[in-house]
Amino acid sequence: MFVPFLVVAIIFAFTSLKNTTKITRPKIDYLSIIESAVGFASLVASVSLASDLGLTSIPVIGLFVLAIIVLALYVHRQLMLENPILNLKIFSIPQFRTGALLVMIDFGIILSAMYLLPQFIQNGLSIAVALTGIIMLPGGIINALTSALAGRIYDSQGAKRPTILGFIIALIVP
């Protein structure tokens, strides 16, 4: 059903979009890619195995320690490279650091509500999947409306007001 829209989008992209910056061909740092992949894969595996094996099991602890060590090496490498894959020096700017932290908290709230609530409704309350979707529908509609409103407030007044209002709403409406 979405294929016609996808075809239109691809045609539009090829005919209308222009590069706004000069295309560069930076050298690929393969060691950084390997460190990133091993570090995050180990972290995800340790968290995933913790539910089955327990937090104190040797595989979970080993994978978690491996993840911390490899990710620390990755961060150190990115800070030392002249052209890093991920420029972590941006976190030295306090406004960026604060914004990134707020976005992380916000996504944690949103994703936990979008994942845990339907799981609880289906498994905890033994309600059918279709009915769970109907129960979740008003939240999706409200999310779409408040996102549009927050965007307008952001455009007219800046980021501070919609951020504070959003976190107040998140505190009031669990």
- Write the DSSP symbol of residue 41: H
Nearest Cα residue to 44 out of 71, 21, 17: 71
CA 157 vs CA 64, 99, 122, 143, 153: distances in Å: 43, 17, 41, 20, 6
- Write the DSSP symbol of residue 26: P
Cβ pair 79, 71 in contact under 8 A: no
pLDDT at 147: 83
pTM: 0.62
Token pair in block for residue 68: 């911390």
Q: Which residues touch 154 (CB under 8 Å, ≥6 apart)?
A: 162
pLDDT tens digit at each of 174 positions of the chain:
677 878 888 888 888 877 778 877 878 889 999 999 999 999 999 999 998 899 899 999 999 999 999 999 999 999 999 889 889 999 999 999 998 998 898 888 888 878 888 889 998 999 999 999 999 888 888 888 888 888 888 888 887 888 788 778 777 775
Within 10 angstroms of residue 81's Cβ, the number of other Cβ atoms is 14
Cβ pair 105, 111 in contact under 8 A: no
Token pair in block for residue 121: 């409704």
Q: Measured over all CA atoms, what is the biggest interatomic distance in the chain, rounded to whole angstroms? A: 56
- Write the DSSP symbol of residue 138: H
Nearest Cα residue to 135 out of 145, 124, 121: 121
